[in-house]
């Protein structure tokens, strides 16, 4: 059983699209994404420096466009072919971390490429504006007793914005609260400040939710052809409309990637393919999904390995969900 996962913010790196743009399909896909988002994603994926692509308004569209273009390359599709229809032939499940959930919604068939890219442009810009209101940030908390970590966050007025599994929680809140927490961390826990613009997935992002909800109201989501796990609680979204509601709400609510991975185990996932720019989610999977074979698509050199994983772990079928995921979807 194969799951396709899409990375979130922080996975981007300078020059990450340079080798990809040598592929005509990817070049065409990124060019279209640039037109849709109003950003020069070719430049941002090749020549922009780390500070430029750290900007939330740039990073988010760049990540979604890269994930979708890389899956088209894996499936050997041109820029016009329906992505979800092709994915549904072998992919059993999909999920995305934070902004990656918009790319996963395309894999599932809930959104088209253009719809997801229009939404991510709104999401990134709105979150950047919300982050500018109050000095906030995020820090990774590695290790420590989970209960003690959560209690310490609460005591400092911080929120566990991302619960990623493998002993990793991302704390979010004001910069003063994060500094106080880092000065007196829980026992056996290491705190690493993240280079992000604000406290994402917290109430600080409420204004961005309103903007994204208004944009989402113009879209009629499709019903999933591939079951889509939600960041809200790791369950399979019961409909396209509900999936889109949760994607919007997620901006100001925690990402429960730990629960997404628990569902992958429960459903019997045996292979995990992480789309470009891969690496972060496969790293988590190696620590939390024992026995699951992983492939991270980082450059075109990884395409053969990705296709091999698909052929061995995917479930060849039509566009109907597999029995296991259909049962989960109705529960």
State the catalytic residues: 98, 201
| C-alpha span between 98 and 107 (Å, rounded) | 15
| C-alpha span between 290 and 109 (Å, rounded) | 29
Q: Which helix (H) or strand (E) holds 295?
A: strand 293-296
DSSP state of 78: -
**Burial of 152 per CB tally in 10 Å (0-12, 13-18, 19+):** buried
Sign of CA dihedral 285, 259, 97, 50: negative
3-state class of 73 per DSSP?
Answer: helix
**Burial of 291 per CB tally in 10 Å (0-12, 13-18, 19+):** exposed
82 C-beta neighbours (distance < 10 Å), count: 14
Q: What pairs with residue 140 in β-bridges?
A: 170, 192
| C-alpha span between 84 and 4 (Å, rounded) | 12
Q: Which helix (H) or strand (E) holds 142?
A: strand 136-143
**Burial of 318 per CB tally in 10 Å (0-12, 13-18, 19+):** exposed
CA angle in degrees (0–180, nearest 5) for 246-251-254? 80
């Amino acid at each position: 059983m194969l799951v396709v996962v899409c990375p979130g913010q922080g996975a981007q790196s300078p020059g990450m699209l340079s080798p990809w743009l040598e592929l005509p399909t990817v070049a065409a896909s990124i060019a279209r994404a640039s037109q849709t988002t109003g950003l020069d994603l070719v430049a941002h994926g090749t020549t922009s420096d780390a500070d430029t692509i750290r900007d939330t308004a740039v990073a988010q569209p760049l990540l979604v466009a890269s994930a979708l273009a890389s899956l088209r390359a894996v499936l050997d599709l041109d820029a016009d072919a329906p992505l979800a229809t092709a994915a549904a032939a072998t992919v059993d499940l999909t999920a995305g971390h934070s902004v990656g959930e918009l790319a996963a919604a395309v894999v599932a068939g809930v959104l088209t490429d253009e719809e997801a890219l229009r939404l991510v442009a709104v999401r990134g810009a709105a979150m950047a504006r919300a982050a500018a209101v109050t000095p906030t940030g995020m820090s990774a908390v590695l290790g420590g007793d989970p209960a003690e970590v959560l209690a310490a966050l609460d005591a400092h007025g911080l929120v566990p914005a991302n619960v990623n599994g493998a002993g990793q929680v991302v704390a979010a809140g004001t910069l003063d609260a994060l500094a106080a927490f880092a000065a007196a961390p829980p026992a056996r826990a290491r705190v690493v400040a993240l280079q992000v613009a604000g406290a994402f997935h917290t109430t600080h992002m409420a204004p961005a939710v309103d903007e994204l909800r208004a944009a989402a109201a113009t879209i009629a989501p499709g019903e999933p052809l591939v079951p889509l796990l939600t960041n809200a609680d790791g369950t399979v979204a019961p409909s396209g409309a509900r999936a889109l509601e949760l994607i919007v709400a997620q901006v100001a609510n925690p990402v429960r990637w730990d629960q997404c991975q628990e569902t992958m185990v429960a459903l019997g996932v045996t292979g995990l393919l992480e789309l470009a720019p891969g690496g972060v989610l496969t790293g988590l999977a190696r620590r939390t999904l024992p026995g699951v074979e992983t492939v991270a698509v980082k450059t075109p050199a990884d395409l053969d390995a990705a296709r091999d994983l698909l052929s061995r772990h995917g479930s060849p079928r039509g566009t109907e969900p597999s029995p296991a995921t259909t049962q989960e979807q109705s529960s």
